[in-house]
Structure 1
Amino acid sequence: MSLNKALVRGVAIALVSGVALAGCSSIPFVGGKKSAPKTNVQQGIGVNGYLWRASLDTLSFMPLITADPWGGVINYDWYSSPQAPNERFKATVFILDTRLRADALTVTVSKEVKGADGQWTTAPVAAQTESDLVNAILTKARQLNLANAG
C-alpha cells in the first residue's frame, strides 16, 4: 500500500508543478500562448525596384526562366536572333542591393554557337557585351526613377 501512496503522491506533485509552471509563459514550451519568433518582414521586393523593372524591360526579348524578386536573381533562357540563327545567348541578372547604384547590378552572359554537325558548343562572349547590358539596365532604371519622381 505504501508503494501506491508514493505513486499517487508523485503524480500529484507532478500535476501541481505542471499547473504552477503553466502560468510561466516566459519559459519556452511551458504554458501560456506560444508566440512566433519576431521576424523582420519586408513588404514588396527585396531589391531595388527600378533595377528590377529595368532588367525585365531591357531583356524582355529573351525568354524568362525564373525571376526571384526577394533574392534579386533573374534567369533568361537561350535566345537566338533571326539575323544570327547559329549563335545563341543566355543571361542571368543579379541585383545585389536595395539602392539604385551601379555596383548593385551584375549581368552574366553565356554564348553558344552551332557547329556544322548541328551541336551547340560554348563560345567566348565579347568583353563589352556584359558591360553594355549593365549600362542599358542602369540607364533605364534612372529613367524610371526620374519618371516616378516627377
Structure 2
Amino acid sequence: MRAFILGACALLLAGCGSSDDKQYIQDTDSGTTAISSESGQRILGVNSYLWHATLDTLSFLPLQSEDPFGGVIISDWYSSPQTPNERVKITVYILDRRLRADGLKVAVFRQTKSNEGWADVAVNPETAVKLTDAILTRARELRLATKQ
C-alpha cells in the first residue's frame, strides 16, 4: 500500500512542471545567455563564459550559494585533507555581461584553527589574482570552443 501511495505522489509531482517551453539561446559573441519562452525573453545578468568558467574553476569547493542573475557565487568553507587546521572560502562577483578582466572580482577568506576555534588570518593577495587568471583563462577556452 505504501508503494502505491508513493507512486501516486510521484506521478502527481511529475505533473506539476511548467508548461512553458523554454529554450536557452547563447550569443557566442557577447557570452550572454537568454532564456526564451512563450512569455518573452529574460537575459541572464552575467557573461555565461565567466559564469561557467567560475563554476569549473571552483568545482573542488562545496558551493553555498549561486545566483546567475546577480552574478554571485559563494563557496562554503573548505579544508584540504593536507591542512585540516586551515580553511578557505571564496566569493566571486561577475560584474559584467561582457568577457572582460575587470568584469570579475574574487574575494578569498582564510581561517586557521586554534584552541579558541577558527580565527581569520591574512590571505596572500596573489591567491585572488591567480584564481581570477584561472577563471579568465577557462572562460576564453569556453568561448573558443563554442566558436568552432
TM over 0.5: yes
2:137: which partner in 1? 139
1:81: which partner in 2? 80
1:126: which partner in 2? 124
2 CA distance for matches of 1:91 and 1:105?
Answer: 13
**Equivalent pairs: percent with the same residue?**
56
- Greater share of strand: 2
Q: 1:109 to 1:42 in 2, by over 3 A?
A: farther
1:27: which partner in 2? none
Matched residue pairs, number?
109
> Structure 1: which 5+ runs fail to align?
1-40
> Structure 2: which 5+ runs fail to align?
1-39
- One-letter identity of the residue aligned with 2:146: N
Q: For residues 81-135 of structure 1, give each alpha carbon's deviation from its aligned partner in whole angstroms, at most 9, with x where no partner exists.
A: 11111100001000000000000000001000011x1611000001100000000
Q: CA deviation at 1:43?
A: 2.3
1 CA distance for matches of 2:69 and 2:59?
Answer: 20
2:109: which partner in 1? 110
- One-letter identity of the residue aligned with 1:140: R
Larger radius of gyration: 1
TM-score (norm 1): 0.70
2 CA distance for matches of 1:47 and 1:67?
Answer: 12
Give the superposed CA RMSD.
1.2
